[in-house]
Amino acid sequence: MEDTNQKGIIAYFANNPVAANLLMVFIIIMGIVSYMFIQRQMFPNIEVNYIDVRATYPGASPQEIEESILVKVEESIKDVTGIKKVVSRASRGSAYISIEVDVNADIKRVLDDVNQRIDTISNLPLGMEPINVYQVEWRQDVIEMGLVGDRPLEELKPIAKQIEDELLQLNNVMLVYLSAPEEEIAIEVDPLVLRKYDLTLNDVSNAIRRYSANFS
């Protein structure tokens, strides 16, 4: 015998088409209202829980960067509350530290603590530039431009700087990032001249490093 007392939401709407239509209209209206009031951004602000530390020490080798800067910075911030992970990298003339902050920590407070700890380091190399500490910001590139031409790099850089200045004067342009290949100098050493003056390649390398640290 067929059960005439069927229960359940599907059976109810099957037996009451008017109620089903009213529910559908209600859902459509709520969807339209939600769409009208939902926040929409072309380039939304996204907070990244990372802090970068960068230092420049002209002429220093990666080993010197590691021993004279990175070790001291890492030691000074090792017990800062809220730090989840620290990754450092040394390259010629520069140091880089990436600090991952715990998602539950106040990144502004951690940033202040890291700045204060680094400011207390008193035995950093005299030839290095001030350490930069900043919160990483997520940015969406809108336009990328390239400047090329049959000219040396030193002539293209002023043109690129002029373009950067003009772009910054446009309405709604908040940031323009300018980058260029790093210039390098290749030095060839004559072994006969080295022997004549009783010098080694290390002597030449150290002299160049001292000159770079003093005059770069």
Domain boundaries, the chain: 1-38, 47-137
Mean pLDDT for 121-134 is 89
For 16-54, how does the pLDDT look when each residue is reduced to its tens digit (9 = 90+)? 888 888 889 999 999 888 888 777 666 666 667 999 999
pLDDT-derived band of residue 212, with 50, 70 and 90 as boundaries?
Answer: low
Q: Which CATH number fits domain 47-137: 3.40.190.10, 3.30.70.1430, 3.40.50.720, 3.30.70.260?
A: 3.30.70.1430
DSSP-based three-state secondary structure for 140: coil
The pLDDT of residue 17:
84
pLDDT-derived band of residue 133, with 50, 70 and 90 as boundaries?
Answer: very high
The pLDDT of residue 28:
93
Q: How far apart are CA 152 and CA 150, in angstroms?
A: 7
The model carries a pTM of 0.52
* pLDDT averaged over every residue in the chain: 84
- 68 in Cβ contact with 60 (< 8 Å): yes
Strand partners, 159: none
DSSP-based three-state secondary structure for 16: coil
Q: Write the single-letter amino acid at 14.
A: A
pLDDT-derived band of residue 145, with 50, 70 and 90 as boundaries?
Answer: confident
pLDDT-derived band of residue 215, with 50, 70 and 90 as boundaries?
Answer: very low
The pLDDT of residue 117:
95
> Among 48, 38, 37, 54, which Cα is nearest to 140's?
48
The pLDDT of residue 47:
67
The answer for residues whose C-beta is within 8 angstroms of residue 14's C-beta and 6 or more apart is 20
pLDDT-derived band of residue 85, with 50, 70 and 90 as boundaries?
Answer: very high
pLDDT-derived band of residue 167, with 50, 70 and 90 as boundaries?
Answer: confident
Mean pLDDT for 175-194 is 80
Of 3-7, 22-26, 83-87, the range with the lowest mean pLDDT is 3-7
